[in-house]
Amino acid sequence: MTLSSNNISSHSKTDLYFSWSLRGCSILAGSLLLLVISFILHEAWPALTQIGLTRFFTDNGWFPTEASYELTPIFWGTILSAGGSIILATPLGMLSAIFCHFYAPPLLARWYRRMIELLAGIPSVVYGFWGLVVLVPLISSWHPPGPSLLAGVLTLTLMITPTIMLITHSSISQVPTTYIHSAVALGLNRWAVIWRIVLPASRIGILTGIFLGLARALGETLAILMVSGNVVQYPSHVFDPIRTLTANIALEMAFALDHHRAALFMSGLFLMSLVLCFVIVAEALRRKTTYAGVK
Amino acid sequence: MLASSKTIGEKSTTLLVWTAATFIAIPFCWLVGDLLWHGWHHLSLNFVLAVPQNAGREGGIGPILVSTGLIVGVCMAVALPIGVGAALFLSEYTPHDQVSGRLVRGSLDVLAGVPSIIFGLFGNAFFCQTLELGFSILSGGLTLACMVLPILIRTVEESFRAIARDQRLSAAALGLSKKCSIQYILLPAAIPGILVGSILGLGRAMAETAALIFTSGYVDRMPTSLLDSGRALSIHIYDLAMNVAGGNPNAYATALVLVGLLMMINLIASRIAEQWTTKNQLPT
């Protein structure tokens, strides 16, 4: 055994090569983010230098073939749809996590959680398809035209509620039972325990879930593209069609050339910076210990 | 778990919580029921095997299943070795707080949050144009590999870290080299974790649409090589629903196939994970 290359005292170099190949893998994986950012930046560069950043906000409308590149209405489309869905999904996700942990009988709670996990695993194109064939006709019969900000918001809400619910659920189930027992011993009723003890104690976890949900809503492409109508305009009410940054890229990449293409990569860069802000905040929150205590 | 008192406030909050839970359950049942109702009677062995005809309105999804399999296959063939290698390096060669490890981990966490359409743009610029692979199954698979690496590495690294320290110490005490202890002790012990990680990555790759539109393309013929353009299941659903009038029945059936496959994948992953944890909890 002493002479075998598997021994620690052998002079073979396999160990060295092995550790270097592993290091290579990890450097490759670690530098992927830089590669992605630098390629998007490289493709967007003509837009930055030849069109200029300000024209994306000051031009008259988005007519890329006629060299007019205003992205503001598309920005609003993204912000309104993601904002609307987070406003709806946060209470729904939190309440359903509370339902699962405190209100539902054990068997129902297990099935409910399984259902939410399934919901989280359904691909976005299927949500989009369902929204297109079920939600849009429904909204259209109520208030035409149908494909609208409202349809987008509802579809996104359905998609990000599971994210918020699952993260909230795992963080409220980590609240130490001693907190809850003490509260019950003090005579607090169920809702008071949840509202005054459990939610404050797990607020960082809940916030992480909200930020991740927001990041997902901003970056979602197919579902929102299929249900929201894709008209470039400032919506005046929720039944107006809108277009988001992601949908804009997905719709126009196929035929975009030169400056148009660069402008699309530029909007991708905007989107990525926006989403990464939220992701980084969420990651920073996740690294903090969940139990700073109840203040 | 908690006693409920009979005050009006308590009753109304209970009502609120149950209402919110129902609000989530209704669309879920609606969505799944709708898929089953419209897709089930359209689904047959012939549909799964046949070639799409008339832009997908008639015929089946045979070539599309093959393309999907190839794209996901390329993705896993590239992501798995790199992912396991990186995970091994992070768990066995870098202490938890070392700067290089933290940098790689941080960058992967951020990469996991990058929206899929951005991966699509990157794949189009890098694989299709710079590396001149064109709209092909290879470009699509490589783009997806970049996308699933973070989730793969995180799961596999956790499974390496879960292996008891005793095993590493015993291997070292026996005089085994690092490579040998990884090859014969750690890798076999982490296989369930690696399986779960790959299955989760597989699921994410199969569900993806936005990253594939400008990398693997739209062509619905049977692919003859990895450099052919191939249409994935998710893109087929998108195309039938948005661009083909009268494509809805086949879109329903395709969506049912896709959701069914994904549910099967998740079930297998959770089974393996469950068995693995119960086995690890038993005293040895």
Our CA-based measurement puts residue B283 at a distance from the nearest CA of chain A, in whole angstroms, of: 25
The second-level CATH assignment, the architecture, of A62-287 is Orthogonal Bundle (1.10)
H or E element in which residue A68 lies: strand A68-69
Confidence of residue A282 (pLDDT cuts 50, 70, 90): confident
pLDDT of residue B223: 86
In this prediction, residues A186-214 reach a mean pLDDT of 89
The second-level CATH assignment, the architecture, of B47-281 is Orthogonal Bundle (1.10)
The yes-or-no verdict on residue B226 having pLDDT over 90 is no
Return the bridge partners of B59, or none: B52
Q: Which residues of A touch B34 (CB under 8 A)?
A: 130, 133-134
Task: Calculate the alpha carbon distances from B274 to A77, A121, B267, B280 in Å.
Answer: 43, 18, 10, 10
Name the E strands within chain B: 52-53, 58-59
Our CA-based measurement puts residue B279 at a distance from the nearest CA of chain A, in whole angstroms, of: 22
Question: For the segment B60-75, what is each residue's pLDDT rounded down to a tens digit?
Answer: 888 999 999 999 999 9
Return the bridge partners of A68, or none: A63
Contact yes or no for B113 and A282 at CB 8 A: yes
CA distance A170 to A165: 9
pLDDT of residue B252: 92
Listed by number, the residues of chain B in 249-278 with a beta carbon closer than 8 Å to a beta carbon of chain A are: 251, 255, 258-259, 262-263, 266
Q: Where are the domains of chain B?
A: 13-42, 47-281
* CA angle (B46, B51, B55) in 5-degree steps: 120
CA distance B241 to A131: 11
- The ipTM estimated for the assembled molecules is 0.88
Confidence of residue A5 (pLDDT cuts 50, 70, 90): low
Interface probe with B: pick from A15, A34, A103, A191, most Cβ of B within 10 Å: A191
- Tell me which of A147-156, A192-201, B267-276 is least confident: B267-276
Q: Which residues of A touch B235 (CB under 8 A)?
A: 125
Considering chain B, what is the average pLDDT of its residues? Answer: 87
Q: Which residues of B touch A24 (CB under 8 A)?
A: 85
What percent of chain A is modeled with pLDDT above 90? 44
